[in-house]
Amino acid sequence: MAERTFAIIKPDATTNGVAGLIIYLTELNKFKVLKIEKTQLTQEKAKEFYGVHNDKPFFKELVDNIVSGPLVIMALEKENAVTDWRTFMGATDPLKSAPGTIRNMFGKSMSWNAVHGSDSPENAKIELNLFFPNL
C-alpha cells in the first residue's frame, strides 16, 4: 500500500545547483512525486514548521538555515515512503551518512545537510497538510 511523505530540498542544495539531481535520484529510487514546488519560506512559516523544536538550543539555526534561500518542497508517494526516504536521505550528519545517500553526496555539515524528510507517518501528514493542504 502506498504511503506519502514530505520532503524538502534545502537552500544549501538549491543554491549549489543540485536540486534537479536530487529530484532525478528521488525518481530513480521509485518515489512518485505527487506535488513539487520551488519556494522560499518566511520566518513565520519556518517557525511554524519547526515549532516542535522551539524550545531547543538549535531552533534559531534551523529557522535561519531554512529561510536562507530558495528550497524545493515535495509530496512523495511510495510503499514505505517515510522509512525509505529517511534511509535514502542518510544520517543527519553527512560525515556519518552511508555512501550513496543524499546527505553523503551533497551535505556539508549537520546544519547544511541538503534535505529534510518527515520522521513518522503522523508527522508526514502534518507537514504535507502545512505545505500542500489540498493534496
In a domain, 100, yes or no: yes
In a domain, 132, yes or no: no
In a domain, 107, yes or no: yes
In a domain, 126, yes or no: no
In a domain, 113, yes or no: yes
In a domain, 133, yes or no: no
CATH number at 38 reads 3.30.70.141
Per-residue pLDDT tens digits for 82-120: 999 999 999 999 999 999 999 999 999 988 999 999 999
116: annotated active-site residue: yes
Report CA 15 to chain centroid distance, whole Å: 15
Per-residue pLDDT tens digits for 58-67: 999 999 999 9
In a domain, 27, yes or no: yes
What is the pLDDT, as a whole number, of residue 123?
Answer: 96
Residues 109, 128: Cα–Cα separation, whole Å: 26
Residue 109, CA distances (Å) to 4, 14, 128 in order: 27, 15, 26
Domain enclosing residue 30, as ranges: 2-118
Number of domains present in the structure of the chain: 1
Cell matching residue 73: 518542497
In a domain, 66, yes or no: yes
Of 8, 19, 116, 118, the catalytic one is 116
What is the pLDDT, as a whole number, of residue 1?
Answer: 84
Report CA 87 to chain centroid distance, whole Å: 12
